[in-house]
Chains A and B, each alone.
Chain A
Amino acid sequence: MNEVLQQVFDVVTSELFERCRENAPNFGVTVERFQASLEKTTRKYLIDASAEPATEADLRAFIEMIQADDLFLALACADGNERAWWEFDHGNRSYMERVARHLAKTEADAEEVVDWVYGELYGTRVVDGERVSKFATYSGRGSMRGWLRTVIWHSLVDMHRASHDEVSLDEMTENVGEGAAQASFATAPAGGEDIMIEGITRDRYRKATVTSLANAFASLEAHERLLLMYYHVDNLKLREISRLVENEGSPLRGWFQRRSQSREKDPNAKIHESTVMRWLEKSYARVLQLFRDELKGPHGLSDAEIEICMGLATQDLAGGDIYRNLTGNA
């Protein structure tokens, strides 16, 4: 952080601290403690996030999005302030219990995970004579409750793993949700795309179809790829995607709105499912055009041959297993 940014940082965070202290005068958090936490977060997630130097506007926008009161509470709890702990417990325990019950298979599991998370939050480990509180990992970039949901979810996955050394993907999905299954999925053999291509040496059209699709998809921007993956692979519904971009500051929302002239007039308008659908349609249109360009350009196929490619792919889909058909049926 250069000198100018440091000065802005000091002023903005001092104001923020005063506001937080006014709201919670008994938490015992010092301005030095508060600023040190924010500075660490700013360096990690703003300054180091890009090779481009951060501007004053970047810094102000970043600090403005910090959930300052939640961070203030977390710092006080990490330091063992009793008043803060009471506030935290009073304001969040029942919520945590509801989240745990929603996620866990049994009431006992729900109780166990809440107790476990409370222990982690208080800090049952001591390093160099100091308790290590889980609160120390909360930066204030999201809400306290959003962070707690994530912590509970992760803790349940860890608990499930610890008690099931060998468990099938289906079983884990059934027991603690799809997310836990995906956690195991991380060790699945890589290179599905390569395997897909390997078997297609005898069929020019099928190979052209798959490689063109891969190149077309890779040519999309990251937010377009992410949207398509959420929709098709993770099965997020339009309503769920619109929830993800509900916040006016959502990065996905920002990128898609930059492409849309009509929405620039009212960037703060609520994002409805129909809007997400339009984004998806535009992403489809882009990838389809790129796909056709690939088939025509590098593969030198005519319109009629492209129709053959699509026809073959449709037949494969009708057979229920395009992977097997594309790779081994040629």
Chain B
Amino acid sequence: MGSTENINIGDARFQGLLERFLRIRSAGDTAFDADRHLDEDTFAAFVEGNLTMREASPIVSHLAECGFCRHKTAELVRLDLAFAELELPASTSQTAPVRTSNVIEGILSRLFGTGDAAVMAHEEKPADERSSEDEKTERE
């Protein structure tokens, strides 16, 4: 048996039979089109139990039939549990960094290789306007 915990159902033979049946059955329950699978947003909300009953009804029905999505949710539950104790509270600081644009520049630098390219990709305003905006940010 795949599960390690023993459930008292009165007939262990039936438990073994059901488990084997379900495993075989699951080989055939993935015949859904890709566009019918749940999206990331729904996966996250389901795993956190953050859905209303009305909203969840079609999702639970889908998961009972779609091994692809169900397995993803199972993996995400494990991940959620693994990180439950590690999560740090999100920052509530209201103090702005010296140059907030550095954050985005840093991200794009890593993606594209150079800081200059990142700045060009990010900038949507002329340099003089940008400069005054940064000064304003610094004052805040």
Contact = CB atoms under 8 A, between A and B. Distances in A.
Interface of A: 26, 45-46, 49-50, 52, 54, 58, 61-62, 65, 67, 80, 82-83, 85-87, 89-92, 94-95, 98-99, 102-103, 115, 118-119, 122, 124, 137-139, 141-147, 149-151, 153-154, 177-179, 182-183, 185-196, 209-210, 213-214, 217, 222-223, 225-226, 228-241, 243-255, 277, 280-281, 284-285, 287-288, 291, 310, 313-314, 317, 322-323
A187 B31 CA distance: 8
B52 A62 contact: yes
A138 B63 contact: no
B52 A249 contact: yes
Interface centre among A150, A185, A230, A254 (most CB of B within 10 A): A150
A151 B41 CA distance: 9
B103 A85 contact: yes
Nearest to B75: A179
Contacts of A313: 13, 16-17
Contacts of A185: 30, 67-68, 71
B88 A86 contact: no
Nearest to A253: B49
Interface of B: 1-5, 7-11, 13-32, 39-61, 63-64, 67-68, 70-72, 74-84, 86-88, 90-91, 93, 96-97, 100-101, 103-104, 107-108, 110-111, 122, 124, 137, 140
Given A192-B28, A322-B20, A254 B53 contact: yes
B51 A192 contact: no
Nearest to B40: A150
Contacts of B110: 115, 118
Given A58-B52, A243-B77, A146 B47 contact: yes
A66 to B, nearest CB: 9
B23 to A, nearest CB: 6
B64 A222 contact: yes
A142 B41 contact: yes
